[in-house]
Structures are given as structure tokens and as C-alpha cells.
Amino acid sequence: MMRIVLISSIAFSAGSLAWGYKMLGLEAVASAALIGGALWLLALWQRWHWFAAVALVGVVLLAGTGIVLGAPLSWMLAGAMFALAAWDLTEFRRRVAIAFRDDDVRGIERRHLVRLSLLMLGGLLLASIAMLVRVKLSFEWLLLVALVSALSLTQFIRWLRDS
Amino acid sequence: MSRALLLNTLIGVVFVAGVASARGELFVLALPFLLYLLISLLEAPADLRLEVDRVLSAERVDANMPATVTVRVKNHGKAIAEVLVEDAVPPNLKVVTGARRHVVWLGAGERWEFSYAVAGPRGRYTFGGVSVTGGEGSGVFGMARQFKTAGQLFVLPQITRVRQVAIRPRRTRVYAGSIPARLGGSGTEFFGVRAYQAGDSPRVMNWRASARHPKQLYSNDFQQERVADVGIVLDGRERANLYAGHHSLFEHSVLAAAALCEALLQQGNRVGLLTYGGYLEWSLPGYGKQQRERMLHTLARAQVGASSVFSGLDHLSPRMFPVESQIVLVSPLMRGDVDALVPLRARGYQVFVLSPDPVAFEQRLLATSREAGLATRLARLERNLLIRRLQRAGILVLEWDVADPFELAVQPALRRLRYPRLVGRYV
């Protein structure tokens, strides 16, 4: 089950990016995204666990570039989210691989998949709301919002850690 | 790079890119990552509030027999999605069933345990702590902690049953036993003839001697059988035990010492044990089952050691053993040992050396060649000379080629030990 979800996530991630770039007319980048996806699958087969992090960074950069170039946000967002799911599942599989055969691995896997699905759903919901609410901001305002956000995020993380 | 840092960096880069390019969509791209990170942070346990303990099914087991280890974990904090519990098994112990590492989901207040069995060669094994790694479901903010737990396992040496060890110390103790005491009295073996005393049973009367002397009656006297003091010395010197690299005779010596301890205690004797290696380890003389346990524990701990102080047997002080008692040395013997053993004999100790044969042992480790053959012959000559010198001093030496099992090679000889008479002057 876990393997199917993981492979599907990698395939959907690469496919979404490729489709978005194809719609943009950049067929070469679309092909590169597909090759990257194939490489990720190969890494999964070869148990190159480090590759998942590299692939995640690559997908996010590709998605960001796509958005800047004018590719459809939904496909880029889908690519990044599936990459996040694949990265999470790769790490999870590595952690669970050392479990003994009598351990309730299936139960842990089920809980993890439910949690991940909820997170992805929440992320998608949040992104959808953000896409619907469009506010035009000047650059100065944007800079201020970014600074305030970064500061609040830092304070929030510190508060969470302390508590 | 930690996973949290990777996510933070990605979010930061996308945010900066969003600000730089003034594209709100980039913020949208960062939102799922931000949510993932924040939820992971919220779920991460502040501390692993666990109670961990370990229980062993036995504190002592025989060699290669399994002992079950049970590790119990109780969660006093909130639920932890993934807990990796790993017990530290001492080196040389092998996990024979089960596993020492488990991944589990631990609810709040939940108690969980797992068991596995270990087995290993002779030794004392101290278990380390139990390491626990726990975190939220995504594993971004994992936390590791080591829990100190007690646990010690003695794997005792294999004990070969020996029926009797025919020792003959000069002095015995007052209690009845099976060692001939060189004293007349009640017993089974004929000791001498004495004048009849009132109350002697007609069965013990010597009618032949009485017939020769019409005015005097004579009775047979029997040798008393009593228990004796025995000191067993196990030679753990590295120089005497290690051959051709890491091949050791010591395990054979331990096997022999264990068999002798068992047999001599079974005979009712007061037995002590001294391990002579890198340092001296001494089990005070004693009787019975408790003493057996003490000695087996000492043997379980015994190791080959190198020390310049104990390189010879010079520190085998006579004060360690009761006067005129029996000393049993289990040693492959070295050239200089004669000088330490003969004085013991001169002080009245009865000395018996059970010697695993190092020449035969090493010969089997060497490739067949003319040089090896010649070296073996020379080593054999030297050893024979050494043994001859010990025998001339009245020390009994029993050689054991360890290729033959102890019960076949040594056990029959132990029943009828013939102590050599002191011959001439020791040179």
C-alpha cells in the first residue's frame, strides 16, 4: 500500500510539473521533469534515500520558476505537494524499515497515511483560499507583510518550543 | 541537513522569491509546506516522558543457552506517533529469537513490552541503556533519549561431570569425606593391624594375626576418609594461553577447571579458586552449592590477561592455600613455572597439574612443513623435560591434548591419579 502511494506521488508530482510546463510551451523542461521523476523512481528502487531531499528541492524550484514564467498555479502546486508527500513517505519508509516483523507496522502506516492525507488536504484548502482571496499590494506593503510574517513565525516557533 | 531545516529553507526561499518577483502565487506555493512544518511542530513531544525497564528471565545460564530479555515501556506523556525502542545488547551475545529493535505507536498512558532471547559464549555481560527515539508522525522533530536500565547476565562455563578426582593431600579436615586421610579408623580401605580394643566388632578382628599370638587379639584398622582443602588455580596468562595469533587454550582450561570444581565440591571438599592472569581473582574456600555458584561466576568472568607482574607463577604465594592442602593447577605450563611450583611441593603441598597440551594445539594450527615439524619436535622435547622436572619434584602432571574431549581423555585418568615419588634432588 505504502509503496503504491509513494510511487503514485512521485509519478503525479513529475506528471503535474511536466503538464504545467507543456501548457506553457516549454516541452524540454516538461521532458526534464519526467526524466527527473524517472530518476526519483530509480533512486527509490536503489534505496538512495538522500535523493528524496534533492528531488524535493528540485521540484519546488521548478514549480516556483514555472509560476514566475506563468505556468498554471494549480499544476505547479500539485507537483510541489505530491513531491512533499513523496519525500515524507520516503523518510517514513526508511524509519519503519528497521521494525521487526511482529510490530504493528501496518497500523503505523495507516495512521501515517491518514495524517499525511489530512495535511495535504489542509494545505490544498489553505492554498485554495489564498488563491480566491486576491489583494493587490504595493511592493513596500508586500515587503512589510513578509517581514512581519517572518518575525511572527519566528516568535510563534519559539513560543511553541518553549511551551 | 535536518529535515526541519530543509523545509524552513525551502519556505524561506519561496517567500523571498515571492517578495522579489512580487508574485502572490509563490506564497501560495509555500503554504502547504508551512502547514506541514507547523503541524509537525505542534505535534512534536516536548519530552519523552517514558518509564523504561528491562527484566531478564535468568541471571545465569549455561553456555549457548538462551535467556529471555523483556523490555517494558510506559508512556507518561502524550501519545507518540512513532517510537523506536532499541535495546543495547552486549557484544558477543547473539539475538536468537525476536528483535532488540522495535517501532511502535504509543498512546498516552499506554504500556508496551517486547521480548527477545539472547545466547552467547561464557562470560559476564552487562546490558547498557535502552535508547528511545520518538517524534511526531512526520519525523521532522524527532527526539532521542537514553534510558538507564540495569541488567547483567552470567553465561556459565560448560560443566563436564567427573565422578571422582583421586587427590591425596597430606592433611585433611575433620569431617568425613572421600579423601584417604592417612589415619587409622573407620573406613573401607585396609590401613593396618592394631591390638584388639574392647567393643571392636568381630567382623574387624584379624583372626590370622590373633591365631599367631595366643595371648593377644588383633583387629584390622581402616583408613579414615575425610574431606580436604583444595585450591584450584586457573592459569590465565596471555603468554601461556595464546598461540598462533588469537587461538586460545584458555577456554579448554576453563572447561577443565569447571569440571574439577564441580567434582571436588561434590566430594564434599572445601574448595577455593584462584584465577591467575592479568590480575588475581580469588574465590575464598568454601563448601556446597553456594561455593559452586561463586566459583562458576568467577570462571564466567575469567579472561586471559597480560601483566608484567604476573608473567610468571612467582606470585602464587603459599599463604593463599591452607597448609599441606591440595593444589590443582590448570595450566599449559611455561618454561619458568618449575621454579614456582617446586617450592610449593617443598612446603608440603600436594600439587597436581592438569595441563592442556600447547605443543599439540599449536602444531595443528601450523601448515605442514619441514621447519614446523622440527620446531614441534624441539618444543615437545622442551615440554617433556619440563614435565620430567616437575615429576621428579613429586608433582603430578596430567597432559591433555585438547583435540580429545575432556570426558574421554581426562576423566578416566582423574579416577586413578598416581602421584610420583620424590626422586633425587631437584636441579
| pLDDT tens profile B305-332 | 887 666 666 666 666 778 888 899 999 9
Give the one of A63, A96, A156 whose C-beta lies nearest to B103's C-beta.
Answer: A96
Give the distance from CA A63 to its chain's centroid.
Answer: 10
Cβ atoms < 10 Å from Cβ of B223: 18
Would the pLDDT of B108 be above 90? no
Is residue B422 over pLDDT 60?
no
Q: What number is the average pLDDT over the span B287-302? A: 90
pLDDT of residue A29: 86
pLDDT digits (tens, 9 = 90+) for B240-259: 887 766 788 899 999 999 99
Instruction: Calculate the average pLDDT of chain A.
Output: 84
The percent of chain A in helix, strand and coil, each rounded to the nearest 5, is 85, 0, 15
A17, A59, A67, A135: best mutation site toward chain B, by most B Cβ within 10 Å? Answer: A67
What is the pLDDT averaged over residues B156-166? 85
Per DSSP, the residues of A59-104 read HHHHHHHHHHHT--HHHHHHHHHHHHHHHHHHHHHHHHTTS-TTS-
Chain A residues closer than 8 Å to B36 by CB: 84, 88, 119, 123
Q: Sort out which chain B residues have CB atoms less than 8 A from A112's CB and list them.
A: 81-82, 137
Taking residues B413-424, what's their average pLDDT?
69
Q: Which residue of A has its CA nearest to B40?
A: A119
pLDDT, tens digit, 9 for 90 and up, residues A100-128: 877 888 888 888 888 888 988 888 888 88
- To which residue does cell 599441606 refer? B324
**DSSP-assigned states of every residue in B215-237:** T--EEEEEEEEE--EEEEEEE-B
How confident is the model at residue B151, as a pLDDT? Answer: 87
In DSSP terms, B180 is beta-bridged to B225
Alpha carbon B359 to its chain centroid, in Å, reads 24
CB A76 within 8 A of CB A23: no
Return the residue of B nearest to A97 by Cα.
B103
For A121, B54, B415, the CA distances from B89, given in Å and listed in that order, are 43, 12, 42
Given this model, what pLDDT does residue B64 score?
79
Evaluate if residue B136 carries a pLDDT over 80: no
Query: Is pLDDT of B417 > 80?
Result: no
Q: By percentage, how much of chain A surpasses pLDDT 90?
A: 23
User: Could you tell me the three cell numbers for A69?
Assistant: 514564467
Q: What is the mean pLDDT of residues A139-153?
A: 71
Q: Is A98 left (phi over 0), alpha (psi -120 to 50) or beta?
A: alpha
Q: B154 with B297: CB under 8 angstroms?
A: yes
Residue B381's pLDDT band (boundaries 50, 70, 90)? very high
B167-201 confidence digits (pLDDT tens): 888 777 777 777 776 777 777 788 889 899 888 88
Give pLDDT, residue B336. Answer: 83
Report CB contact under 8 Å: B3, A120. Answer: no
Confidence class for position B426, pLDDT limits 50, 70, 90: very low
Q: pLDDT confidence of A135, banded at 50, 70, 90?
A: low
In A, minimum Cα distance to B26 occurs at: A64
Which residues of A fall within a CB distance of 8 Å from B139?
91-92, 95
Residues B156, B121 contacting (CB under 8 angstroms): no
**Tens of pLDDT, residues B336-360:** 888 888 888 888 888 899 999 999 9
Give the pLDDT mean for B59-85: 88
**pLDDT > 50? residue B427:** no
In chain B, the residue whose alpha carbon lies closest to the alpha carbon of A81 is B32
